[in-house]
Amino acid sequence: KQFYCLLMSPVGESDLQAFMDELGAREPTEVEIRWLMDWFPCLTSALAYMHDQGVRHQDIKPSNIVHRGSQIFFTDFSSSSRFKIGHTTSTENPARTSAMYAAPEMLDYLQDDGTLSKHGRAADIFSLGCVFSEMATII
C-alpha cells in the first residue's frame, strides 16, 4: 500500500472543532464570523480540488480541519484514497471514518447479501455538509 502525505506550512493555530467549541462558549467577534463565512467557499473549493486531483479524503470532520487566522486547511489524510480521474470513484473498501460525519453508505457498508456497498466522492461532500451545518449554527 502506498502512503501519501501533505506537508503544510504554516501549522494551524487550532482545529475547527476547538474553534467552534470556543465560539459556542462565548459571543463570536465580527472577525470570527467573517472567517466562518469565508471558510464555506474555501473548503468547498479545496474539496473540489482534491477530487479533481483524484483524492478522496474519507474522514472529513471539524477536528481534521485546521485554521491559522483566516486561513483554513484540510488535514489528516490517513484515511484518504486515490482514484483514477475519468473513472468511477466508487470503492468497496470500508474506510476509517467518524460516524457522526459519515454518509449513510459509509456506515452501512456491509449489505444484506454480504457484499460491501460502494461509496465515493459524494461521501466526502456529505461529510463536508455536516461540518457546514455545525459552522452555520455559530453564525
pLDDT in tens, 25-38: 999 999 999 999 99
Residue 36 resides in a domain: yes
β-sheet bridge partners, residue 10: none
pLDDT in tens, 93-133: 545 567 788 888 777 664 555 444 566 788 899 999 999 99
Which residue out of 15, 21, 52, 59 is catalytically annotated? 59
Residue 2 resides in a domain: no
Residue 54 resides in a domain: yes
Residue 8 resides in a domain: no
Composition of the chain by helix, strand, coil, percent to 5: 45, 15, 45
pLDDT in tens, 6-21: 665 667 889 999 999 9
Residue 51 resides in a domain: yes
How many domains, in total, are found in the chain? Answer: 1
CATH number of the domain where residue 38 is located:
1.10.510.10
Residue 57 resides in a domain: yes
Has 15 been annotated as catalytic? no
Domain range for 51: 14-81+96-138
